Structure 1
Amino acid sequence: MPSRTLFATHFYEGQLTEAALVEELLDACLSLAQEDRAGRAWSKAHGYRGYTSYASLNDLPQRDPAIADLVKILNRHVAAFAQECGFQLERKLRLDSLWVNVLKPGGTHSGHLHPHSVVSGTVYIAVPPGSGALKLEDPRLPMMMAAPRRPDTFVYAEPAPGSIFLWESWLRHEVMPNAAREDRIGISFNYR
């Protein structure tokens, strides 16, 4: 009897098609990294190699029109992804949080997930060659016990400037070390 695949994990790869918006977002991210003293202090205190607005600013779409334009685009991508995932929603998903990441050379972010969210993602703004992929972990890994190795236990998604990656928030992932000589810049977010 033939087998079938059960419980597939969806991963969405979209693209910002507006090159001018990517440039505006780059300027916005760099300005925030320069001006946000609390974010720089939090990053330093928590060993984040670079800058993140994760713990300091929660109003980025109101601060910058380019980020507000990005949110409108993300809303459409997230709605398409939710439909692809077969979510039975009583109301549409809404942006819960959004933050800038400027990861310096050598910087990384260890494996994690995003609790209390449904869809998480990142838009890549600056991706110098060698700045690293997004590493996604097979969600069955903790349950595999004595299972033999599989070639796809970890999947590496290679971003480019303007890449939009979306995944269900429970999917464990990590940011690989930035081996480039320049900063990798992205904007991450959660919907619930």
Structure 2
Amino acid sequence: MTQIRSLFATRLYQARLSADGAIDPSELEASCLSIAEDDEAGQDWCEANGYPGYTSYASLTDLPWRFPIFKAVEEALDAHVAAFADDLQFDLNDRPLKLENLWINILPEGGTHASHIHPHSVISGTTYVAMPEGASALKLEDPRLPMMMAAPTRRKGCREELKSFVYVAPAVGDVLLWESWLRHEVPMNMSEEERISVSFNYAWG
């Protein structure tokens, strides 16, 4: 009897950040914009490094301590990450994954985030604050791609789990989680408005 199985799954978690509406997306957006306007160190870092738009990644490492709404975001993320870790069947030995860092991304028209991974973390993700029409989806890369060597391309319309790249277009208020080794990027923002998100890493130990 012929049998074909799918092995070595790559899991992607998607849910509403705040199912009960406790976190107001418009308030979170206003907070992100206000922080970006006041964060001169972050602005300087973005300019010095040719970073499109704004990120607080290199300047503000304590957003949940500074702003109550980001503390609420952290508490919501803790629950989602715990659920995802359970789905992944991690043996955490009674040591839960903990938020390592959390940062704001504001991507203007024409801005991109190049393909990358998040070393030294276990689970990474993003929650989406402003996704205007034309804002870029998240592009995820098959982690086996560098090992495929002489493999033919896939047929157009092949099953999702066989694609080399998968594009996910989240809505405002969604959170996406993936294992931190999964390569991903944000293609060019084709909207005239800013694409705003909050990204984060969770570590173990």
Name the counterpart of 1:6: 7
Residue 19 of structure 1 deviates from its aligned partner by 7.2
> SS of the counterpart of 2:50?
coil
| 1:75 aligned onto 2:78 | yes
Deviation at 1:21, TM superposition (A): 2.1
SS in 2 for 1:156: strand
- Give the 3-state SS of the residue equivalent to 2:45 in structure 1: helix
Output the CA distance in 1 between the equivalents of 2:14 and 2:167: 12
Letter of the structure 2 residue corresponding to residue 61 of structure 1: P
* Aligned residues of 2:23 and 2:72 also touching (Cα < 8 A): no
The counterpart of 1:64, out of the listed 58, 64, 67, is 67
- Runs (4+) off by over 2 Å: none
Distance in 2, Cα, partners of 1:19 & 1:48: 32
2:110 is the alignment partner of 1:110: no
The question of 1:45 aligning with 2:56 is answered: no
Counterpart position of 1:129: 133
Contact 2:23 2:69 in 1 (8 A): no
**AA partner of residue 46 (structure 2):** S
Name the counterpart of 1:157.
168
1:157-192 Cα offsets, whole Å, 9 max, x none, are: 001111101000000000111100100000000001
**How far apart, in 1, do the equivalents of 2:15 and 2:165 lie?**
20
Determine whether 1:22 maps to 2:51.
no
CA distance in 2, matches of 1:43, 1:171: 25
Aligned residues: 192
Alpha-carbon separation, structure 2, partners of 1:186 and 1:115: 20
- Structure-2 separation of matches of 1:21 and 1:189: 19
Q: Distance in 1 between matches of 2:66 and 2:24?
A: 16
Q: Distance in 2 between matches of 1:123 and 1:40?
A: 22
State the SS of the aligned residue for 1:155. strand
In the alignment, the residues of structure 2 paired with residue 19 and residue 50 of structure 1 have an alpha-carbon distance, to the nearest angstrom, of 28
Q: Which moved more, 1:62-71 or 1:17-26?
A: 17-26
Q: 1:186 aligns with which of 197, 200, 203?
A: 197
Query: Which deviates more from structure 2 when the two are superposed, residues 109-118 or residues 21-30?
Result: 21-30
Structure 1 distance, partners of 2:70, 2:188, is 26
SS at match of 2:24: helix
Shift in alpha-carbon separation, 1:20–1:190, aligned structure 2, 3 A: closer
Further displaced range: 43-52 or 53-62: 43-52
Which is greater in Rg?
A: 2
Out of 155, 169, 179, the residue aligned to residue 168 of structure 1 is 179
Query: Which is further off, 68-77 or 149-158?
Result: 149-158
Q: Which runs of 5+ in 1 are unaligned?
A: none
TM-score (norm 2): 0.91
Distance in 1, matches of 2:32 and 2:142, equals 31
User: Which structure 2 segments of 5+ residues have no match?
Assistant: none
* 1:92 aligns to 2:103 (yes or no): no
